[in-house]
Amino acid sequence: MKDLLNHRELFQLMQILRESQRIVVTAHRGPDGDAVGSSLAWAAYLKGLGKKVDVILPTPFPDFLRWMPGAHIIRFHLNHEAEAAATLKEANLICCLDFNTLSRLQEMEGAMKQTKARRIIIDHHPDPDQDGVEMVVSFPKMSSTCEIVFRLIHQLGGFEGMTAAAATCLYTGMMTDTGGFTYNSADPEIYEIIALLLTKGIDKDKIYRNVFHVFSTDRIRLTGYVLYEKLQFFAKNKAAVFTLTREEMKRFHFIRGDAEGLVNMPLQVKGMKLSISLREDTERDVVRVSLRSVDDFPCNRMAEEFFNGGGHLNASGGELPFPLEEAEKTAQRAIEAYQHLL
C-alpha cells in the first residue's frame, strides 16, 4: 500500500499528536456512517496512544448507526451545548473529520471558534478551508474519510493494535460512502484495505445488514409513497426531483435517517443522471437539499451555484432558507441551467 503522507507530513502529525494530551474528535452535522466511523476509529487509535479523547458531534446520528461499536461514547453538542463547549475549551487539539468548512458544524461553529486548541483536518471533501488550521490531511480522491483514517493509522504503525471494533467502524464508513462499493471505489488499494480489515475479524455481511436492512415498516411505506406519489421527472427522464414536507414525515412517523438513501433510488431508472431531494428540515425552517448523479455530472457545482452547498462530484448537498414551493422552482431552474450536461 502506498504511503499517505510524506516524511515531513508524517513527522508533523506525530509531533502534533505527541504534544497533545486532551483531544476532541469531531465531524459534520447530520453525521453519516463515514463521519461516525472515522471519528470512532481515530478516537480509538488516539486512546491507544494514552490520550484523553472526547468525540463530540454537532447533532445526533440516525438510529441505524446506533449499533456501531463505541457509538455510546459520542456526545452531541445539540443536546449538551454547555458541556460540549467546556470540553472543547479544555482541549489542546481538535481533529475535524469528514468536513471541509466550519459551517458544516452548524450551531457548534461558535464554540469551535472560541477555543485556543490547535486544529487538524482529516477529510476527503474538495477545497478544505485552511483558516486557523495547523495541518490539513486532505485527499479528495479517496472513497471516504474512513479510508484516510485507516491509511493514517497504518502508516503511524497502529494497524497491529487495531481492534475488531475499530475495524468495523472503518469498514462501515467506507461501505456507506461508496454505496456498498458501487461508486467512488475503483482504487484497487481499497480492496487491500478491506482484506486487512477482514483479518481483524469484522463481519462484513452483518455490517451491510445492520446499515441497509433495518427499515421500519413506516420507512419502507414512506419510500413507496415518495416513489409512487412524489417523484417528478424532468429533462427527458434524465433528472428527477422529489419533495418531502414535515406533514408527510409526520404521517409516516419519520425519524432521523428515514430519508437516508432515498435520493439514490431515482438513479435506478435507465438513463437517469441526476436526482434531487428537497426535504423540510425537522428542526430549522430550511429545506435540506441532497443531490446524487452518475458519470461526470457535477453535483457539487450545482449545489454551490443553486443550493448554498457543495460536496463531491456525484453526491452533494445544501440548504435553502425558503419554503418548499420556492425550493422546487430553484431545483427546476438548476436542471434547466445544467441541461447541456444531462
> Interface residues for Mn ion in 98-137 (CB under 5 A)?
98
Q: Is 158 in the site for ligand 5GP (CB under 6 A)?
A: no
* Residue 159 · residue 195 · CB < 8 Å: no
Q: Is 54 in the site for Mn ion (CB under 5 A)?
A: no
Cell of 72: 455510546
125 or 273, CB closer to ligand 5GP? 125
**Smallest separation (angstroms) from ligand 5GP to the CB of 145:** 10
Q: Which of 24, 28, 34, 76 binds Mn ion (CB under 5 A)?
A: 34
Q: Is 319 in the site for ligand 5GP (CB under 6 A)?
A: yes
Instruction: Identify what 309 binds: Mn ion, ligand 5GP, none; CB under 5 to 8 Å per kind.
Output: ligand 5GP
60 or 318, CB closer to ligand 5GP? 318
Q: Is 280 in the site for ligand 5GP (CB under 6 A)?
A: no
Burial class (CB in 10 A: 0-12, 13-18, 19+), 137: buried
Q: Which of 54, 147, 177, 319 binds Mn ion (CB under 5 A)?
A: 177
Q: How many CB atoms lie within 10 A of CB 48?
A: 15
**Smallest separation (angstroms) from Mn ion to the CB of 229:** 31
Q: Is 317 in the site for ligand 5GP (CB under 6 A)?
A: yes
Instruction: Identify what 328 binds: ligand 5GP, Mn ion, none; CB under 5 to 8 Å per kind.
Output: none
128 or 309, CB closer to ligand 5GP? 309
Using the rule CB under 6 A, give the single segment among 16-24, 61-69, 238-246, 304-312 that binds ligand 5GP: 304-312
Using the rule CB under 5 A, give the single segment among 27-35, 58-66, 112-120, 257-265 that binds Mn ion: 27-35
Q: Which of 36, 148, 174, 315 binds ligand 5GP (CB under 6 A)?
A: 315
260 or 328, CB closer to ligand 5GP? 260
Using the rule CB under 6 A, give the single segment among 10-18, 50-58, 202-210, 312-320 that binds ligand 5GP: 312-320
Residues near Mn ion (CB under 5 A): 34, 98, 145, 177
